[in-house]
């Protein structure tokens, strides 16, 4: 097991696209008011975020019968996650946050009845932490590809059939108390609120021993409006 690693990211705002919350670029032309408001709030948002991502590599002891067994005796229960990890030798567990000041700013704006501003800052926060997790995943994909390995899609508690209650295992058993800036409430909500956690597997690149791509549950899911839906990924 590796020591916990920490990454700081200061380029989160470059990937923020607010058009989806206004109906999409094709369906709505932004007014000068919305453009100016968004720019002003983005400057504020950029000044208060404190992006941090923590991760650790764990060996996978086994993956079968709806259970992924990691070192330290940690057992993650999900049929779909087990299928994702079938050919994996180890897994990266991570948690990411943009800090608590965003939550405070949203509360302040709401208290002042500036609900539109609060909504925009809230949306920026959600997009930023998701961007951070996605950028981390892409960087790890590049790193492991150069080592002759691949990675699976990233999976978070609450996705598909992996219960949100399993979040406690990530925080109680996989990340030592006090080593990250993120804590978990009794109801499995993360604090700061704009945080994300998850896992993805590391596997050999496809060859005669691993003849098929890692399983992607989105490939056989009929739910069309899932915001977590991912295209089928390959590491060719």
Q: Tell me the C-alpha distance between 169 and 205, whole Å.
A: 29
| pLDDT confidence of residue 23 | 59
CB 74 within 8 A of CB 62: no
| pLDDT confidence of residue 113 | 97
Over the chain, what is the mean pLDDT? Answer: 82
**Which of 66, 73, 68 lies closest to 172 in space, CA to CA?**
73
pTM score: 0.84
| pLDDT confidence of residue 180 | 84
CB 58 within 8 A of CB 1: yes
Higher pLDDT, 30 or 153: 153
| pLDDT confidence of residue 148 | 87
The H-assigned helical ranges of the chain are 32-48, 79-84, 101-111, 115-146, 167-169
pLDDT per position as a tens digit, 41-53: 888 998 999 999 9
| pLDDT confidence of residue 24 | 56
pLDDT per position as a tens digit, 103-144: 999 999 999 999 999 999 999 999 899 989 999 999 999 999
Confidence of residue 91 (pLDDT cuts 50, 70, 90): very high
């Amino acid at each position: 097991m590796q020591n916990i690693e920490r990454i700081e990211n200061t380029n989160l705002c470059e990937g923020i696209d607010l058009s989806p919350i206004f109906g999409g670029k094709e369906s709505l032309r932004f007014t000068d008011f919305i453009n100016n408001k968004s720019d002003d709030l983005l400057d504020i948002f950029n000044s208060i975020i404190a992006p941090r991502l923590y991760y650790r590599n764990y060996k996978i002891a086994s993956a079968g019968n709806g259970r992924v067994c990691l070192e330290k005796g940690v057992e993650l229960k999900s049929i779909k996650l087990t299928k994702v990890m079938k050919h994996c030798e180890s897994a990266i567990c991570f948690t990411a946050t943009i800090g608590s000041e965003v939550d405070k700013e949203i509360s302040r704006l709401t208290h002042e009845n500036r609900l539109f501003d609060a909504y925009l800052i809230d949306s920026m926060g959600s997009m930023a932490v998701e961007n951070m997790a996605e950028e981390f995943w892409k960087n790890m994909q590049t790193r492991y590809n150069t080592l002759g390995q691949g990675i699976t899609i990233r999976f978070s508690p609450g996705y598909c059939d992996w219960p949100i209650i399993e979040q406690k295992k990530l925080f109680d058993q996989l990340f030592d108390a006090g080593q990250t800036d993120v804590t978990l409430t009794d109801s499995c909500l993360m604090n700061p609120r704009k945080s994300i956690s998850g896992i993805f597997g590391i596997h050999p690149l496809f060859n005669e021993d691993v003849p098929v791509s890692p399983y992607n549950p989105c490939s056989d899911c009929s739910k069309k409006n899932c915001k977590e839906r991912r295209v089928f990924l390959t590491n060719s």
